[in-house]
Structure 1
Amino acid sequence: MRRLPVMALTGLVAAGLSLTACGSNSMTTSGASSAAGGASATGSVDAALAAKVPAKIKSAGVIKVGIDPTYAPNEMLASDGKTVEGFDVDIFNAVAAKFGLKAEYQPASFDSIILGVTGGKFDIGVSSFTINPDRKKQVNMVSYYKAGTQWIVAKGNPKAVNIDNACGLNIGVQKGTTQLDDLTARSKKCTDAGKPAINMIVQDGQDQVTADVVSGKTVAMLADSPVGLYAVKQTGQLEALGSIYDSAPYGYVIPKAETDFANAIVDALKAADKDGSYLAALKKYSVEAGAINDFALNP
């Protein structure tokens, strides 16, 4: 397993904590990070798929990808603080290779990526987006993985956190996630029952959310299952609480106007599954339990 992103590790060291947080994905001076995810890196170009690349992307020669690299092991910064890596990156590099494209990864806050796609800043969003009705109203989504929600607490659960009764507790969560919606609903149940609301500590990056649990600022956090379980393994100071629930597929975020391209991405995923590059990306990070083979547009 790889370590947490450098930005997470830096923050934790400053707090006096010890936390162990395809192609060339190195950041440019503009803050974007580019990846060589073309055919030479991950396989041969599929001519039929390459013909379906939108003209704007084809003329640019790269596909601009919005990504939040604070979500290890899905998407994260490597030890150089510049390279974006993770299983999301490896899978999408394999997909891009089928089109003969190079992926240029541009770091952004998670809650800004969909707007960036709809506004034309990014060609696609690849950042562990759970597919849900609200998001499908705004964009096309192509499924490629399945994950659920996992609660994480300090080892031994010293504060005796109860998932079904977290009223009045400091609970961490990342901004813009389905877990924030989950926690908000749980807090409302508390107040409806005359109990204190959950004190939600909402951070922009998942690295900050994890750091808060390790430091004791929060007594628990909610995160996608591969992310939460990765943090448990890497820190040595955390443990999972309860079982994974609300499993749902992740989806690539693609503009509504690009339905044909979205369908072509479905086919590229199928090709990556067939040639083994899809599963290889998951096995590299020990997250193959979430593999799917029923890739689909707006499932």
Structure 2
Amino acid sequence: MALPTARRSFLASCGLLAAGALTLAGCGSDSLSGSTPGASSQAPATSVAADSSLKAMLPQSVQDSGVLRVGTNATYAPNEFLQGDKIVGMDIDIINAVAAKLGVKAEFTNAEFDSLIGGVSANRYDAAISSFSITDERLQQIDMVQYFSAGTQWATKKGNPDNVDPNSPCGLSVSVQTGSTQQLDDLPPKNEACTAAGKPGITVLPFDSQADAANALVSGRVQAMLADSPVTAYAVKQTGDQLELVGDIYDSAPYGIVLPKGGGQTAEAVSKALEEIAKDGSYETAMTNWGAEAGAVTEFPVNP
């Protein structure tokens, strides 16, 4: 399709994380446990109190059915991924809480990432949430409500024994996910700057999964890794005390919930629901459960 279809990283996070049998818990792809694109997952029960005034802002079909049909691509831990045959993650917790505040239940369909925006426009889904960066190109076709901010974050071994400084990466060996923005857009100019200054270049080891990139750091094959901020934070959390975040998050960009373009008051209802779950603590819980607190936002504008 004409729109950019990538998240901030192009590939999914999955696989063995570290020696000692540490894994990214439940990290998977559409093929796990017999689940295929199109498989649905019903939202778990939530204690968020419904707001009837917000429900009245939804399309009549959603009010009548009591179901918010949500498209996602469950291959991107910790934001949305499969745990057995259940779709779980930070984004899933957020949209479940939003749906509960709206007085409906979220019903998820696991689909190809590049089909989701078209699916919302074609009314196959009432909404989509799948780590979508908000871009001008996307806003030409759909409405988006901001709910998170992701950037690039580095990690290194606990205690930073190699004195890793993301602002001075010359001579470092680093792991990344193949095809990620970190590999394609971030590191090349940094490497060129190093060599232009007569300093050692950056040795980049790309891996097909972000979990394998983290495993390379844990096992000492590299001195650092970098990835999308929530993905890095999740990898650090999963390794216990073996890794730590280093440096600040940079190149941040907002994520947005996808809704039909000009879909009446729906986007405003979702925005207000996000404001309410931020007040009652559900939003913060969704962040902390997945180690993504650094990307929390305080405002939830429509089409920022």
TM-score, length basis structure 1: 0.70
Q: Is residue 2:285 matched to residue 1:280?
A: yes
Q: Is the 8 A contact 1:172 1:220 kept in 2?
A: no
Structure 1 match to 2:91 = 88
**Distance in 2 between residues matched to 1:107 and 1:212, nearest whole Å:** 30
Deviation for aligned residue 1:233 = 2.7
* Identical counterparts, % of pairs: 40
Deviation for aligned residue 1:65 = 2.7
Structure 1 match to 2:58 = 53
Q: Which residue identity lines up with residue 266 of structure 2 in the other structure?
A: F
Cα 1:139–1:98 change in 2 (3 A) is same
Structure 2 match to 1:265 = 270
Give 2:43's match in structure 1, choosing from 36, 48, 69.
36
Equivalent position SS for 1:128: coil
Structure richer in helix, relative to its length: 1
**Distance in 1 between residues matched to 2:252 and 2:132, nearest whole Å:** 12
Unaligned ranges ≥5, structure 2: 1-12, 25-32
Structure 2 match to 1:3 = none
Cα 1:245–1:58 change in 2 (3 A) is same
Structure 1 residues 66-93: Cα deviation after superposition (integer angstroms, max 9, x where no partner): 1434322x33433xx1222233222211
Give 2:231's match in structure 1, choosing from 219, 227, 233.
227
Q: Is the 8 A contact 2:183 2:206 kept in 1?
A: no
Q: Is residue 2:12 matched to residue 1:12?
A: no
**Distance in 1 between residues matched to 2:54 and 2:81, nearest whole Å:** 29
**Distance in 1 between residues matched to 2:277 and 2:118, nearest whole Å:** 28
Unaligned ranges ≥5, structure 1: 1-6, 22-26
Q: Which residue identity lines up with residue 223 of structure 1 in the other structure?
A: A
Deviation for aligned residue 1:206 = 4.2
Structure 1 residues 96-141: Cα deviation after superposition (integer angstroms, max 9, x where no partner): 0122222122334555544544455443222333334444344322
Q: Is the 8 A contact 1:282 1:291 kept in 2?
A: yes
Cα 1:216–1:184 change in 2 (3 A) is farther
Deviation for aligned residue 1:28 = 8.5
Give 2:70's match in structure 1, choosing from 64, 71, 94.
64
Counterparts of residues 113-152 of structure 1 (less than 5 Å): 113-118=116-121, 120-152=123-155
Structure 2 match to 1:24 = none
Give 1:246's match in structure 2, choosing from 240, 251, 254.
251
Deviation for aligned residue 1:239 = 3.4
RMSD: 3.9
**Distance in 1 between residues matched to 2:251 and 2:74, nearest whole Å:** 22
After TM superposition, the structure 1 stretch with the greater mean CA deviation from structure 2, 60-69 or 106-115, is 106-115
**Distance in 2 between residues matched to 1:259 and 1:215, nearest whole Å:** 52
Structure 1 match to 2:103 = 100
Q: Is the 8 A contact 2:176 2:206 kept in 1?
A: yes
Q: Is the 8 A contact 2:132 2:256 kept in 1?
A: yes
Q: Is the 8 A contact 2:69 2:109 kept in 1?
A: no
Cα 1:270–1:189 change in 2 (3 A) is closer
Cα 1:220–1:129 change in 2 (3 A) is farther
Q: Is the 8 A contact 1:146 1:249 kept in 2?
A: yes
**Distance in 2 between residues matched to 1:132 and 1:285, nearest whole Å:** 25
Alignment coverage as a number of residue pairs:
276
Deviation for aligned residue 1:165 = 4.6
Cα 1:221–1:105 change in 2 (3 A) is farther
Q: Which residue identity lines up with residue 227 of structure 2 in the other structure?
A: A
Structure 1 residues 187-207: Cα deviation after superposition (integer angstroms, max 9, x where no partner): 15645887789757364x644
Deviation for aligned residue 1:224 = 2.8
Q: Which residue identity lines up with residue 187 of structure 1 in the other structure?
A: P
**Distance in 2 between residues matched to 1:62 and 1:157, nearest whole Å:** 45
Cα 1:119–1:185 change in 2 (3 A) is farther
Q: Is the 8 A contact 2:145 2:301 kept in 1?
A: yes
**Distance in 1 between residues matched to 2:255 and 2:74, nearest whole Å:** 14
Structure 2 match to 1:4 = none
Equivalent position SS for 2:130: strand
**Distance in 2 between residues matched to 1:84 and 1:185, nearest whole Å:** 31
Equivalent position SS for 2:300: coil
Equivalent position SS for 2:287: helix
